[in-house]
Structure 1
Amino acid sequence: MEIILSQIEQYISDHTTEETAALKELNRQTHLKAMMPQMLSGKVQGKVLEFISRMMQPKSILEIGTYTGYSGICLAKGLQPGGKIITIDINDELTPMVKDYVAKENLTNAFEILTGNALQIIPTLHHTFDLVFIDADKQNYANYYDLVFDKLVTGGWIIADNVLWSGKVVETEKDKDTLAIDAFNKKIQKDTRVENVIMSVRDGLMIVRKIG
């Protein structure tokens, strides 16, 4: 299902600030070298994530799902001076690419890259976070949410990607990933500890604010 008309998507892109040279190169290299390049946030969503982070000015960010580092770089641009982003991915094959482009954006000191199962790593993190970005395996979205919630400061934010799942969330027949995303969205909607909104940016961003 086409969530936004392709002509409108192009118009939005045409009227969005261009990527930095490093991010543009990372975008291209991801499409050339990585599997499933459609997972890349890309120019428009990347700028949205950057702007959200700049408005929040977080001291600490947790990203679940590094991929080639595009979204993490965008989020890291909003960190307070001396701030840190911890990013977790189960696959280390793309780590050299991530480190390369993090360095090109002069963000090496802000990044801590962890490899492994996020379900096992998150409980070992003795940190509190101002902002959490969830963009990993869809069937564990609800589990990631539960694991990070107590590590999120009151007034902190969670952003989850792909919550419209190419529009499949409104279809009658749903596969396992779609069912998981739909259940996650409903879980957030019922959680009285948060306020939330879904933005129809790219494949859908659920933005959650912890109020209690």
Structure 2
Amino acid sequence: MPSPNYFKPSHPPTIANVPELTPYYYDNSIRMSPMERAFFTKIAKKDKSGMVGGSDEAQFFRLLMHATGAKKALEVGVFRGSTTAYLAQGVGDGGKVIGLDITKDYLDEVDAEEFWAEMGVADRIEIRVGNAVDGMRKIYEDENGSGTFDFIFIDANKDDYDAYYEWALKLVKPGTGLIAVDNTLFHGAVLDKNHEEGRAIDTLNKKIHADERVESSMLCISDGVSILRKK
């Protein structure tokens, strides 16, 4: 059934209607340096490469951060570290990215820190290993992190998405800071009531849509990403 919020029912979203456009979309959108391309290429050869944030998404975040003058970012779920590099480019000289993940093993497998160094952003990145919810709580309670982050990217354990969201609202700067929530379409699993992770994301999507604390928009970039501004 068509959504009452979509006012062009005879024209479905273009990529969905013409999937053959996907290569054109990437060819005419993504602009990579040789080092960025080498990093993504190495990551793509490893297992679980489908879990990596899309190059279109990472590039979009960097653009948003440059446009808003972001200097402090938090990444909840680092994995291979490609998006981390783009966030570090986004904060610029003197900026900082804190990355939270349960392990550094995936970073080490692709020599992420060496790539960050070659890209000139290693000194802007701090990786903290441990439970991400605990890490966010520590930043808030022990490091006076309330309302200090310009950009927060959520892309970790889907069952904890609601907890990440609530902590992100405490940590992001009201008015100007942005929160990006990844995998909001989750390969279509948000429509599958029997898919545990899909249900968790669907529940958060509906919560965000109704949440008067934020202004938000869900975009059909990569696997779906919601961009939020705390009012």
SS in 2 for 1:153: coil
Q: Are 1:48 and 2:60 matched, yes or no?
A: yes
Task: Show the counterpart of 1:16.
Answer: 29
Partner of residue 150 from structure 2, selected from 111, 125, 130: 130
Partner of residue 38 from structure 2, selected from 25, 28, 49: 25
Task: Tell me if the contact between 2:53 and 2:82 (Cα under 8 Å) persists in the aligned partners.
Answer: yes
TM-score by length of 1: 0.91
- CA deviation after TM superposition for structure 1 residue 166, in Å: 1.2
1:148–1:46 CA distance, 2 compared to 1 (3 A): closer
Report matched runs for 1:36-75 at 5 Å.
36-75=48-87
SS in 1 for 2:174: strand
SS in 1 for 2:217: strand
Q: Are 1:102 and 2:116 matched, yes or no?
A: yes
1:143–1:106 CA distance, 2 compared to 1 (3 A): same
- CA deviation after TM superposition for structure 1 residue 173, in Å: 3.5
Structure 2 unaligned residues grouped into runs of 5+: 1-14
Q: Are 1:202 and 2:222 matched, yes or no?
A: yes
SS in 2 for 1:136: coil
- CA deviation after TM superposition for structure 1 residue 172, in Å: 5.0
Task: Show the counterpart of 1:140.
Answer: 160
Task: Show the counterpart of 2:129.
Answer: 115
Q: What are the Cα deviations for residues 150-192 of structure 1, in whole angstroms up to 9, with x where unaligned?
A: 11111211001110111232x3544100000000111111211
TM-score by length of 2: 0.84
Q: AA paired with 2:72?
A: S
Of the two structures, which has the highest relative contact order with CA contacts closer than 8 Å and spacing of 6 or more?
A: 1
Task: Tell me if the contact between 1:62 and 1:129 (Cα under 8 Å) persists in the aligned partners.
Answer: yes
- Tell which deviates more after alignment, 116-125 or 175-184: 116-125
Q: AA paired with 1:167?
A: G
Aligned residues: 207
Instruction: Find the aligned partners of 1:107 and 1:114 in 2 and give their Cα distance.
Output: 17
Instruction: Find the aligned partners of 2:59 and 2:178 in 1 and give their Cα distance.
Output: 17
Task: Tell me if the contact between 1:165 and 1:203 (Cα under 8 Å) persists in the aligned partners.
Answer: yes
Structure 1 unaligned residues grouped into runs of 5+: none
Instruction: Find the aligned partners of 1:52 and 1:27 in 2 and give their Cα distance.
Output: 21
Q: AA paired with 2:41?
A: R
Q: In angstroms, what is the RMSD of aligned CA positions? A: 1.6
Identity of aligned residues (%): 29
Q: AA paired with 2:129?
A: T
- Tell which deviates more after alignment, 177-186 or 23-32: 23-32
Instruction: Find the aligned partners of 1:17 and 1:28 in 2 and give their Cα distance.
Output: 14
Instruction: Find the aligned partners of 2:61 and 2:22 in 1 and give their Cα distance.
Output: 17
The structure carrying a bigger strand percent of its residues is: 1
Task: Tell me if the contact between 1:53 and 1:76 (Cα under 8 Å) persists in the aligned partners.
Answer: no
